[in-house]
Amino acid sequence: MTAALLIFIPLAGALLAAVWPDERTRPWFLPVTGVLHTALALRLLVHPPPVAPDAWFGFDPLARAVLPAVSLLFLFCSLYAVSYLRLRTERPNRVFVASLLAILGLLSAGHQARHLGVLWVTTEAITLATVPLLHFNGTARAYEATWKYLLVGGTGIALSLLGSFCLGYASLRGGGGGDLTFAALVAQGAGLSRPWVLIAWVFLLVGYGTKMGLAPMHTWKPDAYGEAPAIVGALLAGGVTTVAFTALLRVRAVVVAAGAGAVADRTLLAIGLFSLVVAALFLLATRDFKRMLAYSSIEHMGILVLGTACGGAGLAAALFHVWSNSLTKGALFLTAGNIRRAAGARTTDEVGGMAAVAPQSAALFVAGLFAITACPPFGPFFSVLRVLRAAVGTGHEAAAGLFLGCLLLAFVGLTRLVFAIIDGRPRTNLRAHRRGLQETAGVILPPLLLLGLSLWLGLATPPVLTDAWTAAAHVLAPAP
């Protein structure tokens, strides 16, 4: 029952915000809902409720291992949103606030979905709910990005529906009674029709992989992250991609039960490494610091998938990485938003010397840079280390080597770009913009706290989290 509240509170908040008459007070719906949601999610993390095996929704081990991270990310984004929307009073915020809240509700539903069809319906609904957020800025470039998001994302999501049907047919062909909950599919195991399982895996991997932004289905990502407001980028990179990742984890468990786990893991390994390579190469080339974050997100999606491909310990490490990536990436997106507003531009050609113009944001951005490139002692360092250890431990030494090489290239690419905009003398045209940005507590504290959480995650990983990750990995990849 409490688990259902995670879904219904934000949805109710979205409805209320949609009819709320006052533009100025409406953004406060976000932090209020965020606080309630986080409190509930943390409570459920500590006291996991029992889940009926045939339930369509439930706070099961996987939801427990991931959803609180999304909840925390949303909370800090919502605090930032209040200050952000105060700066953007020229644009009406009704749709923006309502969509953000609806997305939180749908994200909670997606993480808790234990039915193949229901999972698809929620993922598609999330895709649609993000559309008004992407073109909030209302520029031609924003519409272009939205169109690409709709077309690429729409096709991806259509293919995942096809994959879901194929998996359903695998069950039907194998003599199943038509129960499409993941629990029932896993229980049917080897009884599933193998050819259909493999066809389903391909479509579902491409479909949910598009949503995650794995290369080569990543093309929408730089455009969407580049044009969307910072909060939206943070939620896309830390929340929406996570739903797609958990969807892949649930499907993988079925494929493993059907006896095709080796095939699934080989494809995951290949696509994960490919994403890492593509992201690393683009990071070396890009000149736009918001698009840079998109490529960094592709890189980290690759790490998640790579960890999953290594089974058991790797999966637990990947779940750890979901947390460290979500929180750190959130901090980076929010800071990038500050810098973008202070500079009025986004590329190294136009931006420089931000350390003088926006010193606090610049400092945060540099700290975030070191965190996301897996420098100790931030969270990503430890999660990446665990993924690496799992890869070596399962005999994927070559993959681990390539992985390390990509991390190094990404580090070079990211530091190159970040110091190009932080260092040096401020461009003359920045002076005019400088008055537009005051580094108030409202825009500095949320990213600072997110980064603090990432640090805490690395220095003193709470045992309850480690426990949640191992429990989820145990359910999803039972030791043979």
Residues in the site for another protein, rule: CB under 8 A?
A: 115, 117-118, 120-121, 124-125, 128, 131, 135, 139-141, 143-148, 150-151, 154-155, 158, 161-162, 165-166, 168-169, 171-173, 176-180, 193, 195-196, 222-223, 226-227, 282, 285-286, 291
Q: b/e for 230-239, b at 16 or more Cβ within 10 A?
A: bbbbbbbbbb
Distance CA 421, CA 347 (A): 8
Given phi > 0 = left and psi -120 to 50 = alpha, else beta, which region is 286?
Answer: beta
Task: State both tokens at 229.
Answer: 């407001």
State the nearest-atom distance from the C-beta of 266 to another protein, in Å: 23
Distance CA 156, CA 31 (A): 32
Q: Is the CB of 147 or the CB of 274 nearer to another protein? A: 147
State the nearest-atom distance from the C-beta of 421 to another protein, in Å: 17
Q: Is the CB of 146 or the CB of 383 nearer to another protein? A: 146
State the nearest-atom distance from the C-beta of 178 to another protein, in Å: 3
Distance CA 78, CA 85 (A): 10
Q: Is the CB of 274 or the CB of 456 nearer to another protein? A: 274
115 DSSP β-pair partners: 181
State the nearest-atom distance from the C-beta of 457 to another protein, in Å: 32
Q: Is the CB of 111 or the CB of 290 nearer to another protein? A: 290
Say if CB 162 and CB 142 are below 8 A apart: no
181 DSSP β-pair partners: 115
Q: Is the CB of 210 or the CB of 454 nearer to another protein? A: 210
State the nearest-atom distance from the C-beta of 148 to another protein, in Å: 7
Burial class (CB in 10 A: 0-12, 13-18, 19+), 46: exposed
State the nearest-atom distance from the C-beta of 82 to another protein, in Å: 27
Distance of CA 167 to the CA centre of its chain: 25
Write the DSSP assignment of 45-92 as a string of letters: HHSPPP--TT-SB---HHHHHHHHHHHHHHHHHHHHHHHHHHHTTTS-
HSE at residue 114, side-chain half, CA atoms within 13 A, is: 20
Q: Is the CB of 199 or the CB of 263 nearer to another protein? A: 199
State the nearest-atom distance from the C-beta of 162 to another protein, in Å: 5
Q: Is the CB of 208 or the CB of 382 nearer to another protein? A: 208
Q: Is the CB of 421 or the CB of 444 nearer to another protein? A: 421
- Tokens 């259909």 belong to residue: 196
State the nearest-atom distance from the C-beta of 165 to another protein, in Å: 5
